[in-house]
Amino acid sequence: MKKLIFLLLLIPILSFSQKKKTAFVVYFVPISKDVKKKYFVKNRNVDYWKYCSTIVDFAEEIGYENYSSDLTNSSFLTRDSKQILFKNIFNKAKNGELVVYKHSDEYGWNFFGPSPNNTWTGEKEILKKQEIQRNISHIFWTRDSISDNDEYLEEFNIDDFIGIKFYEEWTFNYKSLTIDKKILCYAPAIKHFNRYSRELVGFKCPFIVENKNLKTNQIIATDFYSNTDIFCSREADTWFYDYLEPSVKYPFIKEALTNENNSYYECSPPYNKKISNIDALTFESVRDSMGDDGNQVRDEDGYPLLAKDLNYYSQDEINSFGFVENWFFDKKNSSFGKEVNGISLEVSGLINYVEQVIKPIFLLKN
């Protein structure tokens, strides 16, 4: 009898635990208009297409990332907010007031950073002032350079600070359709230039910082919108991944698309315009109008008649999540906090029938 009672008490606990899942993800967030994305289709031997941000004008220096074409659906930090981050991250790191760690090797091939159970991938190396100064500088070579002795460094400035890589723990609640984010580490990103031509070829992360609990909450961005590349199954040998496993994302997507009690909003500022289920969940397509004889129907002038269909989005068409967030920053310990106000589901689309973009179809408000 006692065993039966114990099992009955355990059932609700098990059921509740299945309504939540955790994932560890890494993704890049542009904070400046200098960095842009373009999406392309890439099949990674899976049963549906995935959309990833492309690398164009590939950098000569292997391992550096490039986002240099059109970006959609993104916010940018104000200069005042960038000044706060610049002063309390880069300046503190240069002056030895902030502990920062080596993020990768010289060529960007190997990642150094957090792993499960409070361990670290690679050597947990605290960077010295001289190393920090070099990493945040632009390194150029003379045309006839054949050795590192001919290189020279240029100090970077606030305009070179263009984005942040976040290493986060996400908790999915499938019942309430919410995602909570805990920032574990972050790596600020600066412009990266070709050492010879001085052309902008991408961005680099000079160091990685362990994020701490906030003691003060200064808001640096309100309703900041960013979309992510976490549906792109790239190769990764770290604890953090830039894609979500189907077992994590599909229950969330299914509930978002099928629950009749959901409230949907237009995913554009001020993010408070409610839309109908039909507007949120369907899209219009055009096709040739066909007669009973199987031939194309034409008007009296001989032009083909077109028929419009209303189609429902499927789970496989959802290619990324977008987030509307408030960002907080603690100047004392140089750490971030995020408050998720809304989550959008995004699909691929075309501009002028040519350019691939990712666009939100609706917003779920927290």
pLDDT in tens, the chain (366 residues): 544 444 444 434 333 345 889 888 888 888 887 665 544 444 333 333 344 443 333 333 333 343 333 344 567 899 999 999 999 999 999 999 999 999 876 656 677 777 766 777 777 889 999 999 999 998 888 765 555 557 888 888 999 998 899 999 999 999 999 999 999 999 999 988 888 888 877 788 899 999 999 988 899 999 999 887 666 655 455 556 667 788 888 999 999 999 989 999 999 899 999 999 999 999 887 677 777 777 777 777 777 777 777 889 998 888 889 999 999 999 999 999 999 999 999 887 655 555 556 789 999 998
Q: Compute the distance between CA of residue 293 and CA of residue 290 in angstroms, rounded to an integer.
A: 8
Give the pLDDT score at 106.
Answer: 62
Give the pLDDT score at 109.
Answer: 64
Give the pLDDT score at 66.
Answer: 35
Give the pLDDT score at 45.
Answer: 36
Q: pTM score, two decimals?
A: 0.80
Paired tokens of 162 = 């263009």
- Which among 343, 348, 340, 347 is positioned nearest to 322, based on CA atoms? 343
Give the number of other CB atoms < 10 A from CB of residue 138. Answer: 18
Strands (E), the chain: 20-30, 39-42, 50-53, 113-115, 119-121, 137-141, 151-155, 161-173, 178-193, 200-204, 209-210, 218-227, 264-265, 274-275, 282-288, 306-312, 318-330, 335-351, 355-365
Give the pLDDT score at 10.
Answer: 41
Q: Compute the distance between CA of residue 340 and CA of residue 120 in angstroms, rounded to an integer.
A: 28
Backbone angles phi, psi at 354, to 5 degrees: -125, -60
